[in-house]
Structure 1
Amino acid sequence: MMPISRLALAGLGALLLAGCSGEAAQDPRKKGTPEVGYVVVETADVPVAVELAGRIAAFEMSEVRPQVTGLIRRRFFTEGAVVRAGQTLYEIDTRLYRAASNEARANLNSAIANAEATRIRAERLKPLAEAQAVAMQDYTDAAAAARAAAAAVQQARAQLQTADVNLQFTRVPAPISGRISRSLFTVGALVTGNQAEPLAVIQGVDPVFVDIQQSSAELLALRRALAQGGAVPGSTSVGLVLEDGSEYPQRGQVQFSEVMVDAGTGTVTLRARFPNPQGLLLPGMFVRARFEQAVDKGAILVPQPALTRNARGEASVFVVDADNKAAERKVTAARAVGSDWVVTDGLKPGEKVIVQGLAKLKPGAPIKPVLASKPQVIAAPKPGSTPASKP
């Protein structure tokens, strides 16, 4: 019985092996050269888009201060409203300054009358002195008195102008147009001409400035790229992302960049100007600024699925070589744009980069390359087996 059992087992094993080999021959995944999808890469001008933190600053700002001393009698504006340049904001008690103006005007009239009398006396003494009817010294004294009286008139006129200016200062105007803050002094408060605290603050909010902070290291790398010809200056147009994540509907323009680095933060300030007709942007508000600071010349865009990184962070892609074999290529890809990586080194225009069928791809393995845009062919699954697909 023993020989028969061994013969039966051997026959059963042969049948099983034959069945397995038949299935393997029919499995499309184990049959023939693997098919991969590729794209032909070309150079392009890729913008270097940056998004940086920024803060809204008023286009103009002025502190409203009194220039004379006195009690505030009236206030002529609504807190938080828009005021115009020259509009009267406060009135300071005018009584003392009006009296000073009246006194200066009276002194001027007295000086004018005295000057007229001394001039006439000097004119009368002149012919008498020439005829030696009176002493020449009398005429000399009369002429000097006339000139002194005329100078007194000019002095009195200047004092009157000063008094009138002080009287005008009792009405405190808006230095600039803009939105005014709350009033820091109420009616009845005593203000002085040399006080440190302002009465209110006016800020011009249409347009506004956005102060953008960029690290000095990023700016240095950008300037080196521009100097070496690897990039060209980009557009000065800037977009804003507000604190709630929404985009500001209007775009601004970069005005200038600071010429020094902030020692405390290590950043350089860039200033952009934005229209603000609806007053949506308020001074002090934090925003995110998006703009194209430069344009990479001759960069290559590679779809993100085609690029892999090793444990050291080094990037690589598979390309189709001249023998239709997979060749691994080290590349430099520091940033992404949309769904693509920007490759600045390691690839040449016209090369075929594999983007599909990378799962089991090995360097040097024979492949059947097809354009990635070609529709995929999906094989019908067998009962009890996993569906197979070809890219």
Structure 2
Amino acid sequence: MAIRIANRLSQVEEYYFSKKLAEVESLKQAGADIINLGIGSPDMPPHPDVKTELVHACDQTGSNHYQSYRGLESFRRAIANWYKSIYEVQLNPATQILPLMGSKEGIMHVSMAFCNPGDTVLVPNPCYPAYLSASKLLNINLKFYHLKEENNWLPDMDEIESLCDESCRMIWTNYPHMPTGANGNMDVFRQLVELAKKKNILIVNDNPYSLILNDKPESLLQVEGVSEYVLEMNSLSKSHNMAGFRVGMLCGSEKNINHVLKVKSNFDSGMYKPIQIAASKALALDSDWYQELNNSYQKRRALVWKLADKLNCQYKKDSVGLFVWARIPDQFDSGESFSDHLLYQKSVFATPGIVFGQEGKKYIRFSLCATEESIQQAINRC
């Protein structure tokens, strides 16, 4: 007789990339030379000073000890200084910032802090799949607001308001948007905040891509600063090539931060001190770092556009972030079939848009986390 498992496992599946990358690896082991343009895992290293700082911090007495659940004071000050420098948002490092061990942790903890089983959250379609899985694991109802290409992948406020019934507790937003690369704007943020106040619900913006190929980084907190109706998550994964470090942050009112801290403090014993020290160094880098990083991504994106052109895919050149989101050729019925065609016929892996929701069925996503040489090789193969 099999050991029984929790009912919640029937609500979720193994994360797509967990399964697909295992499949890609098996093809490699069988001799296939796969070019991976699927996952957004930065391949370039962090700044050398960040790595040096990490090594030095490991030698500090007490670096291996448990750390504060709120993170180092110096790290929270670094986050506050960064938000002031990048977004012109003033945050109190003592009360309005909570370091996270990556965005996935933040998504789960925010969901646990503000939603009961049976409550409703609104999520975009297409969207980052972690918004869905966190809600499903917590037995929170999901409603989708639809993002469409003809509206530049921006939300329809009338649709969102119509979905905000008495059970609705929270709305997830993600601008710059993943996977489409659509950039948010302050008009959209202002309308979302006005709706949140009207309906007495929480808006949470997930904002890890605002410094990638984007001339004007924006934050939801720019609308009117910190309030009870808004939270924002951010991350060093993409902007500082530190995905494996698992460093993120949650910014908002003292009251809301304390709600999330009550959850978080029951799940971990603080972030490793040397990582916090290295992250503080990363946040203090000058604008040359971002410019150099974006120069590399700009060259890669130009090559991915060439690849998309060769594959007869359609895309927008005004998108930002770490991906190129493209409509597939008409002869393919779904992004999944097109992705399999590229993988098995061309040894090139790109992510089918259906992974992010039904609105992505006819799309595919190419990552910029590959060398120019690899992308050129993919062009040659296709």
Bin the TM-score by the shorter chain.
under 0.3
Structure showing the higher strand proportion among its residues: 1
**TM-score in terms of structure 1 length:** 0.19
Structure with bigger gyration radius: 1
Structure showing the higher helix proportion among its residues: 2
